[in-house]
Amino acid sequence: MSDLAVTLTLCGLALVDAAFASWRTATGRDGRLSTPRREWVSFGWGVGAWATCLALIALACVPALRSIDTRSAELAHLVDGGRRMLGVYLPMAALVVFAVAVHLIGGTHDRRAAAMTIVLGPLTLLRPAVIAAGALVAAWPDPARLWLPALVTVASMVAIGPTLGWMRFRHLRWRRRPVG
């Protein structure tokens, strides 16, 4: 996989992950029926979160790339780390894509429910661990150079859900106004 392909694939995975994290954050908040508009709004917040994460990760890479003399070598190190990350993230992404496809177009509600109970539900719990594992695998061979981008990747991606929940729905926490 070329360097550009590694970079674009990682960015694409992060985009999809952020969009789903944002969507999950919006579900079960107020009991309203989902509508395409409401779901797209959630995905839109995810895109915003993704852009913020990318900016933070890029900032974390700046120290390594500061010196013009060593920039290309450092960049190669970073891309190698990204390649190792993909080794962890792509299998999970493939599972999620398969389960989402079954849930959306799987036909019977039995299959849709199975996609949720077997894959999507448990993987929601595993997601922070998988993100951390990917970052660890990426940074392991060269922690001195890669610990900061890896740490920022984990922190920003894991923080998407709670941050968006706080930004969008903190007014709903137990609902401030009286019911009825």
Site for another protein in 125-144 (CB under 8 A): 125
Contact segment (CB under 8 A) with another protein among 70-78, 86-94, 112-120, 144-152 equals 112-120
* Residue 129 Cβ vs another protein, minimum distance, rounded to whole Å: 13
* Candidate list 2, 4, 28, 144; residue touching another protein; CB under 8 A: 28
Find the binder of another protein among 4, 33, 68, 105 (CB under 8 A). Answer: 33
Question: With binding defined as CB under 8 A, does residue 32 bind another protein?
Answer: yes
User: Of the listed pieces 70-78, 92-100, 136-144, 172-180, which binds another protein according to CB under 8 A?
Assistant: 172-180
Choosing from 37, 107, 144, 180, the residue that interacts with another protein (CB under 8 A) is 180
User: Concatenated DSSP letters for 61-79?
Assistant: HHHHH--TTTHHHHHHHHH
Distance of alpha carbon 146 from the chain centroid:
19
CA separation (Å) from 70 to 67, 80, 103, 110, 119? 6, 15, 48, 56, 43
Nearer to another protein, 46 or 149 (CB): 46
**Binding residue for another protein (CB under 8 A) from 37, 170, 171, 175?**
175
Q: Computed over its alpha carbons, how large is the radius of gyration of the chain?
A: 18
Using the structure block, give the residue that is written with the tokens 């019911």. 179
Alpha-carbon separation of residue 7 from 54, 95, 111, 122, 161 (angstroms): 11, 21, 34, 28, 23
Numbers of helices and strands, H then E, in the chain: 6, 0
Per the CB < 8 A criterion, the answer to whether 157 and 53 are in contact is yes
Which one of residues 47, 58, 113, 167 is an interface residue with another protein (CB under 8 A)? 113
| 105 binding another protein? (CB under 8 A) | no
At its nearest, how many Å lie between another protein and the CB of residue 94?
A: 19
Look up tokens 């890896």; give the residue: 150
Residues engaged in binding another protein (CB under 8 A) = 27-35, 109-114, 116-118, 121-122, 124-125, 172-175, 178-180
